[in-house]
Amino acid sequence: MVKVSAPGKIHLIGEHSVVYGFPAIISAIEKRTRVKAEKSEKIKIKNEVYQKETEFEIEEAVTAAKKSRELWKKGDKKSDFSELFSFLRSDFWKRNQATLGLIFERLKVVKGGVSLIIDSNLPTGVGLGSSASLSVAITRAIAALYAPQISNQKINEIAFELEKLNHGRPSGGDNSVCVFGGTIWFEKGKIEPVSLPDFLQNLIIVLTPRRNLSTGDLVQKVRNLDKNFRDQKIKNIAKATYKMRRALEEKDVNKVKNLINIAQDNLTELGISNPEIDGLVKEVRKIGGAAKISGGGGGTVICFHQNKEELIKLLKKLKVNFEQIKLGAEGVKVEKS
Ligand code: PMV
pLDDT digits (tens, 9 = 90+) for 184-210: 999 998 999 999 999 998 899 999 987
Q: By three-state DSSP, how is residue 331 classified?
A: coil
Of all protein residues, the one whose alpha carbon is nearest to atom 14 of ligand 1 is: 171
Give per-residue pLDDT as tens, 117-167.
Answer: 999 999 988 999 999 999 999 999 999 999 999 999 999 999 999 999 999
CATH number, residue 122? 3.30.230.10
Spell out the residues 6+ positions from residue 55 whose beta carbon is closer than 8 angstroms to its own: 42, 43, 44, 45
- Domain encompassing residue 26: 2-193+331-335
Weakly modelled stretches of the chain, pLDDT under 70: 336-337
Give per-residue pLDDT as tens, 17-28.
Answer: 999 999 999 999
Residues 160, 61, single domain; the answer is: yes
Tally of domains within the chain: 2
Residues 11, 151, single domain; the answer is: yes
d(CA 260, ligand 1 centre) in Å: 17
Per-residue model confidence (pLDDT) at position 337: 58
Per-residue model confidence (pLDDT) at position 336: 63
Residues 50, 70, single domain; the answer is: yes
Residue 19 near residue 218, CB atoms below 8 Å: no
Per-residue model confidence (pLDDT) at position 202: 83
Residue of 151, 127, 123 whose CA lies nearest to 139: 151
Residues 185, 202, single domain; the answer is: no
Residues 179, 89, single domain; the answer is: yes
Residues 180, 210, single domain; the answer is: no
d(CA 313, ligand 1 centre) in Å: 30
Per-residue model confidence (pLDDT) at position 213: 85
Q: Which atom of ligand 1 is nearest to the CA of 128?
A: 3
pTM of the model: 0.96
Residues 47, 121, single domain; the answer is: yes
| Number of neighbouring beta carbons within 10 Å of residue 57 | 13
Residues 207, 78, single domain; the answer is: no
Residues 84, 110, single domain; the answer is: yes
Report the pocket of ligand 1 as residue ranges, CB < 6 Å. Answer: 15-16, 18-19, 127, 129, 167, 170-171, 173-174, 215, 219, 295-296
Residues 222, 134, single domain; the answer is: no
Residues 220, 264, single domain; the answer is: yes
Residues 16, 77, single domain; the answer is: yes
d(CA 58, ligand 1 centre) in Å: 30
CATH number, residue 268? 3.30.70.890
Per-residue model confidence (pLDDT) at position 292: 97
The helix (H) or strand (E) run that includes residue 242 is helix 227-249
The whole-angstrom separation of Cα 72 and Cα 170 is 12
Residue 272 near residue 218, CB atoms below 8 Å: yes
Per-residue model confidence (pLDDT) at position 152: 96
What is the crossing angle of helices 94-106 and 130-146, to 10°? 40
DSSP 86-111: HHHHSSTTHHHHHHHHHHHHHTT--S
